[in-house]
Amino acid sequence: MKVSLFLDVETPITFRDQPGIQSAVLYTEINLCNLNCYHCHNRHGYNEYKGKKEKLSYKKLKEKLLMLKALGVELIIISGGEPTLEKKLEEGLRFIRSLGFSVRVDTNGTNPEVIQRLIEKKVVNGFALDIKIPLKVRYTPQELKRFKRVLFSTEDVDDEAVLNYSEKLMTSLEIIKKNPLQYTVFRTVEYPLLLEEDKNEIRKLLEFSPHQFNPFYPVEEE
């Protein structure tokens, strides 16, 4: 039986992730991510998902999706990990859409070429793009120290890693701005490492679109 890219775990149903729309969340591999964000909620917060490798077969995925449709779910949200790193992402999105669902991909925005391709292939109805820090072409030493901890949970990375993140995010943001989709949202976690001036810069960057700051919930890895 052909296997999908989605973990065989509980599928939460929510009205909160896409306000006013009944949604359900499918997870790609939790540890497949190119960032290591400060107190990552998905990586450290879901004890039952730790070490999970079993993927849903497409038969079982179809059964799950048809059950969700019967419950009134309209939108399937793809979370991770970082879904844009999954080689079979496009295949999985096509399968979900073939059953009549809209699809939103939650992404850290560091793979703009994948975002562009998904839009061009018309396999996605929106993105949740996380803007974790102010996006700039240069940062002060103090900013670099803070933002390394936000993005990588350590200061022991090259400055270039933060600059590369910012460049990739600016490209992704421009792609999404040029291709407005129904279920696109912009989000920022209110990390305690972000100063009010940082948050104001993010607000200014995203003043063209609705943007929400999500509360920070500290989660420690066991």
Residue 185 β-bridge partners: 128
Q: Which domains does the chain have, with CATH numbers?
A: 3-214 (3.20.20.70)
pLDDT of residue 222: 45
All residues at 6 or more sequence positions from 59 whose CB lies less than 8 Å from its CB, including other chains: 1
Crossing angle of helices 89-98 and 58-70, in 10° steps, is 40
Q: Is 19 exposed, middle or buried (0-12, 13-18, 19+ CB in 10 A)?
A: exposed
How many CA atoms lie less than 13 Å away from 149 in the CB half-sphere?
Answer: 9
Give per-10-residue mean pLDDT for the chain (222 aa): 91 89 95 93 65 86 97 97 97 98 98 98 97 97 97 97 98 96 95 97 93 83 48
Residue with tokens 């929400």: 212
63: which DSSP letter? H
pLDDT of residue 46: 59
pLDDT of residue 108: 97
pLDDT of residue 79: 96
pLDDT of residue 19: 86
Q: Is 87 helix (H, G, I), strand (E, B) or coil?
A: coil
For the residues of 60-109, what is the DSSP string, one character each? HHHHHHHHHHHTT--EEEEESS-GGG-TTHHHHHHHHHHTT-EEEEEE-S
Phi, psi of 77 (to 5 degrees): -100, 130
pLDDT of residue 181: 96
pLDDT of residue 220: 63
